[in-house]
Amino acid sequence: MSIATPALTNFTAGELSPRLEGRVDISRYFNGCRTLENFLVHPHGGAWRRSGFRFMAEALGDGPGLFIPFEFNEEHTYLLELGVVDEGVCMRVFHAGEPVMAEGAEYRLDLPYAPEELAALRYAQSGDHLVVVHPAHPPKTLTCNGAADWLLETMVFKGAPECWKDGNYPSCVAFHEERLVLAATPDRPATIWLTRVGDKTDMRLKTREAPLSDWRDFVCSGTGMGKSGESITVKDGGLFEKGCGFRGRNADDELRYYQYVGGKIFEPDGADRTVTFGTDIEAVHDADGVLDEECWVCCEVGDRVEAPPGEEPLDDDAVEVTLSGRQANGIRFLVSKARLWVGCSGGEWTVSGAGSGEPITPAGVRAAHEGTCGAEQHLPETLDFASLFIQRGGRKVREMAYRFDADAYVSSDLTLLSGHVTGPGVTALACVQEPDPIIFCLRRDGILCALTRHRDQDVTAWSRIVTEALWRRSAAFTHRERGATSCGSSCAGPRAAWSVATWSGWIRSSAAIRRRRFVDSGVTREGDPSNEVEGLAHLAGRTVSVLADGAVHRDVTVSPEGTLKLDLEASVVHAGLGYSSTIRPMRLEAGSARGTAQTKRKRVLNVSVRFYETLGGKVGSTPERLERIHFRTPETSMGEAPQPWSGDRSVPFPRGWQRDDSILVVQDQPLPMTVLLIVPKLVINE
């Protein structure tokens, strides 16, 4: 027999697939876990218990829904919830964890979409507005004029493509190089349209600044407004057709230029002739001075107008690109980087200028086919210089980034070693940046999983978020709450009633234990000491966990009215659904005098765990055989909650000789836990 004390120093490989339990020859085996549940991994190695989800409000109906994060600045950060109410779709706004109110009621905005269309809505934010697209609706802008003042308008484009019509509008949107990018109509799924630089409503492919060189020859007679009966003179040999213009006046008697965009052509017979408005060509203004916008464009000096036939486009004109290739299927998403990244159902592309570092221009555009993985039609997430997207089929999450050694953009499989975590497939991604970069993935079966990703430290750590809720939608946003950064939002419910909940990603370690939330669908009561807690109607009849002034209270059943009574009065109370957090490392591989420790009988004598800012917890071999860890010391006064503790704790291991050397570290109380190191002491039977 030999004695070994292997050190499990980090968990940066996360929860590994059961199919890797024999791969003791790879380095990630020693940094992985068989179970990592309700824990998140720090990029520097430790695993910390995830915070609870705080109840915000009942969800908008129980049908389809959508969350849209809207971040204008640190003060104006909102979460937009789109849901079904009375068979129609409306929008509700959350700010600082609470619904925005207007005139004593929740602010809501009716939207012109059908419930079944919410899943296909795509959006891109620029400043104080969102551009929202759906293949069945013209592109629209959602403008924020205030927390309770939002306006949805249909965008009006100059020179919109003729193929844009009822039921055939773009389904993808982004902003790139000061252009609005729209892509993928149902009948042209591989086409991308980029507006003119600096004007996100100008889709004209060839323009010039007004007035054009020959416009001054056409001076309108009469009042100069181009009303019916007035005329202009066309010089010898000239035509008046689409693209031509003249100098005239508007209804306010201001000098303007007017360009003809209609379909008629007037050709003189060899001598100077006059063109009569309303007879030879459409009138510019009607009798009331209203401009005929279908046939005429009114502009000032310097405005852009359509270039005459035969002219070449300018570098900042609009661009139309159609991807062509064996895998140029329908476009699924657009991401603006140094190049425009395009995800298609059959592969990944980049669109850029013709030369290295050059912008996209009509005469210089290059589309490169980078990969063949294919993507689902779900919004990607950007993390540092990479973008994460869901591969076609939904079972894998890939990271698209530039690789210097290959001089190409490569899509790496982030689920290769943890394929079981994404289970039946992923339907949405939500990325939070603070305190650590974490991507939350919503599965088709309503389970949430999390990925800690840090390329520089080679961290790819998956874990599972297990609650009593079934998750339906997710988003990520950041707002300031009591000096802490709160990130992430999801829609969940305790199987009975759906609710909107927010996850506080980080509470400063210096904060008192009573400020930390480790309950789901929870509410917080703060104020004068009391033994009553209200606001739990969404958990009526359920047994909830309670943390009262930093101390664990016994579980309490919520009354039908949504209230509960405590045994003692408390000032700060967190009450909600309890959850258990579990770390179970891989099978121990410490080596022995005769080679590997795998398949040999062994006995774990004790387990030492290094904690950081931790209270409570258990260590053992099975869920039925766990030893509780005690943190209260004689220095802690009775009646006072102990503060989080950092250091080592050693626990005897009451188990005999086994081939399966399971070690469990569990936290099932509403208290914090961070595990930095696990060191078992075991005897291996040679």
Tell whether the model's pLDDT for residue 161 goes beyond 80.
yes
Residue 377 pairs in a beta bridge with none
Domains of the chain, by residue range, sit at 2-48+581-684, 207-311, 519-578
Query: Are residues 139 and 132 in contact, defined by beta-carbon separation less than 8 angstroms?
Result: yes
Which CA distances in Å does 478 have to 77, 132, 231, 487?
A: 7, 21, 61, 5
432 contacts: CB under 8 Å, gap ≥ 6 = 438, 440, 476, 478, 487, 488, 505
Does an H or E element contain 262, and which?
none
Paired tokens of 686: 């040679």
pLDDT over 70, % of the chain:
91
pLDDT value, residue 155: 96
Strands (E), 225-264: 231-234, 245-249, 255-260
pLDDT value, residue 390: 94
DSSP letters spanning 446-464: S-EEEEEEETTTTEEEEEE
What is the SS3 assignment for 111-161? ECCCHHHHHHCEEEEECCEEEEEECCEEEEEEEEEECCEEEEEECCCECCC
Give the tens place of pLDDT for each residue, 541-587.
999 999 998 889 999 999 999 999 999 999 999 999 999 999 999 99
Query: Are residues 617 and 646 in contact, defined by beta-carbon separation less than 8 angstroms?
Result: no
Q: How far is 223 from 283, CA to CA, in rounded Å?
A: 13
Tell whether the model's pLDDT for residue 180 goes beyond 60.
yes
pLDDT value, residue 639: 67
Tell whether the model's pLDDT for residue 418 goes beyond 90.
yes
Tell whether the model's pLDDT for residue 293 goes beyond 60.
yes
- Residue 247, phi then psi, degrees to nearest 5: -95, 130
**Strand pairing class (32-37; 14-15):** parallel
Residue 126 C-beta-side C-alpha neighbours within 13 Å: 17
Residue among 45, 14, 37 at smallest CA distance from 414? 14
Which CATH architecture describes the domain 2-48+581-684?
A: Sandwich (2.60)
Tell whether the model's pLDDT for residue 231 goes beyond 90.
no
pLDDT value, residue 491: 47
pLDDT value, residue 389: 94
**Strand pairing class (602-614; 14-15):** unpaired
Q: How far is 198 from 589, CA to CA, in rounded Å?
A: 61
Please give the average per-residue pLDDT across 55-84, as a whole number: 85
How distant is the alpha carbon of residue 96 from its chain centre? Answer: 18
Tell whether the model's pLDDT for residue 4 goes beyond 50.
yes
Mean pLDDT (the chain) is 87
pLDDT band at 489 (very low <50, low <70, confident <90, very high): very low
pLDDT band at 310 (very low <50, low <70, confident <90, very high): confident
Q: Count CB-CB contacts under 10 A for residue 445.
A: 11
